[in-house]
Amino acid sequence: MVLDLRLGHFIRMKKAHPCGNDIWEVTRLGADISLKCLRCNRSIMVPRPYVEKKAKEIIDFRDARG
């Protein structure tokens, strides 16, 4: 699945982060994508194919923040 990602988009992943959150904000794009957990603010860099495989959906900003 090819995702049309942009900076500031929010992604719901299939597997939750250890803090219990499954929503991430896109903070950097390229061959690797930087994601920030919205609950604990931890940032990770993962390869683009991993994100494309593990992403459930791109969600609206209003849905992500509650």
Domain locations along the chain = 10-60
Predicted TM-score (pTM) of the model is 0.83
Length of the chain in terms of residues written: 66
pLDDT at 3: 76
DSSP per-residue codes, 4-43:
---TT-EEEESS--TTS--EEEEEE-SSEEEEEETTT--E
Pick the residue with more confidence: 58 or 62? 58
* pLDDT mean over 55-65: 73
Q: Is the dihedral of CA 52, 3, 58, 42 positive or negative?
A: positive
* pLDDT one-digit tens code per residue, 4-49: 888 889 999 999 999 999 999 999 999 999 999 999 999 999 999 9
Q: How high is the pLDDT of residue 65? A: 56
